[in-house]
Chains A and B, each alone.
Chain A
Amino acid sequence: MNWRRVLLVLAGILPLVALLAFGMTRDPKELPSVLPGKPAPEFTLNVLDYAGAPAAPKPTVSLAEHRGEVVVLNYWASWCLACRDEHRALSEVAERYAGQGVQFYGLLYNDTPQNGVEWIRAMGGQSYPTLLDPNSRTAIDYGLYGVPETFFIAPDGRVAHKHVGPVTDQVLTEWIEKLRAQPQREAE
C-alpha cells in the first residue's frame, strides 16, 4: 500500500465530494427574493369593479397613497388552486384590521376581470379590493414567480416580507403586528 498515493487521491477527491455535498443541502426549488428591505415598486392600478365589491375610495389606487400604513398585497388568480386555500384567512384578517392603518389589496394575475369576479362570487366574496394588473407589469416589477404570493409593505414604503404559497391567518397576523409595532421612518 502506497500511503502517499492514497493521500494524493483523497486530496483530489475530497474537495469535490465536499462541494457536491454542499450542493445537496441547497433547495433548487427555493425562490429567492431580493425585494425585502427595498422600497416597494410603485403602481397605479384600476380597482376590479363588481356588484357587492368592498367600497374602494377611488377607481384607481396608487401605492404611494398608503405611505404610513401597512399594506398587504396578495397576488391571486381564478385558475390558482392554492389561492382557494388562503382566501378565507385573507378576507378574515383584512376585516379584523379594517380601519386600523392596514390596507389589503388583491392583485389579479394573468386572468380576465370576468373570471376574477366569478371566482370571488363563488368563494363568497372578498373583504378587500382587488386591483387589475394588465400585462402583468406590476407582477414583473415585484419579481413574481407564481400565485399565490403575498407581499407585506411597511409603513415606510419598504417591502418587509414576501410569502410564497398560500398564506395563513398566523403568518398574516404576525407580520402585520410586527410592522405596526415598527417605528416609522421615511423611505429614501
Chain B
Amino acid sequence: MKRILVLALALLLGAAFGGARSLSAQQPRSGAELETAVKALSAELRCPVCQGLSLKDSPTELSMEMKSVIRQQLAEGKTPEEVKQYFVGRYGEWILMEPTPQGFNLLVYILPWVGLALGGMLVFFLVRRWTRPQPDPLAALAGAPAPTEARWPED
C-alpha cells in the first residue's frame, strides 16, 4: 500500500514539473506562430500595474507595450526563456505568474500533494477502521465478553 502511495506521489510530482517545463525553446518568427507564442508568454508574466492579472488578461497601456516588447524580442529570434529573463532582470521573480520551482518556492509545489497524500492516508485508515468486521452479535448474546471488555481484562 505504501509503495503505491509513493509511486502515485512521484507520478503526480513528475506531471506537475513536466507541465511547468513544457514551454519549449522553439523559436517562432512571424505570423500566427509568433502571435501564439506572444500569447503563451504573456500569460506567464504579471501585469505590473494590476492586481493578480497576467499581461495577457490586462488591457492597460503598459501591458500592451510590454506585449509588444515580447513580440519584438521573439521576432528577433530570442527564445521565450530569454524574453522571460529580460523581464525577470528588470522586475524580479515577481513578474512571473508562477514561481520558479526552486528553494523556498518548492513548498508551493510540494505542499498540496503532501496534504493530498496525508488526507488520502487518513481517509484510507478511517474507512478501514469503520468497515472492520463487527463481532458476531449472537456470540455476544451467548455471554461472550464485549470486545472492549476483552481488551481490558483487568477492569
Contact = CB atoms under 8 A, between A and B. Distances in A.
B61 interface: yes
B83 interface: no
A34 interface: yes
B91 A34 contact: yes
Interface in B115-155: 118
B66 interface: yes
A34 B66 contact: no
Of B66, B68, B91, B93, chain A has the most CB atoms within 10 Å of the CB of B91
A143 B91 contact: yes
Contacts, number: 45
Contacts of A140: 62, 65-66, 69, 90
A141 interface: yes
A41 B69 CA distance: 15
A76 to B, nearest CB: 15
A89 to B, nearest CB: 24
Contacts of B61: 110, 136
Interface residues of A, number: 21
Interface in A20-49: 31-35, 38, 41
Interface in A125-159: 135-137, 139-146
A144 B87 CA distance: 11
B90 A143 contact: yes
A19 interface: yes
Given A19-B107, A145-B48, A146-B49, A32 B65 contact: no
A29 to B, nearest CB: 9
B89 A34 contact: yes
B17 interface: no
A17 B93 CA distance: 25
B31 interface: no
Interface string B81-121: 00000001111111000000000000100000000001000
Contacts of B62: 110, 136, 139-140, 144
B76 to A, nearest CB: 14
Interface of A: 12, 19, 31-35, 38, 41, 110, 135-137, 139-146
Interface of B: 48-49, 61-62, 65-66, 68-69, 88-94, 107, 118
Given A136-B65, A145-B91, 13 more contacts: A32-B91, A32-B92, A33-B91, A33-B92, A135-B65, A135-B68, A136-B62, A140-B62, A143-B91, A144-B62, A145-B49, A146-B48, A146-B49
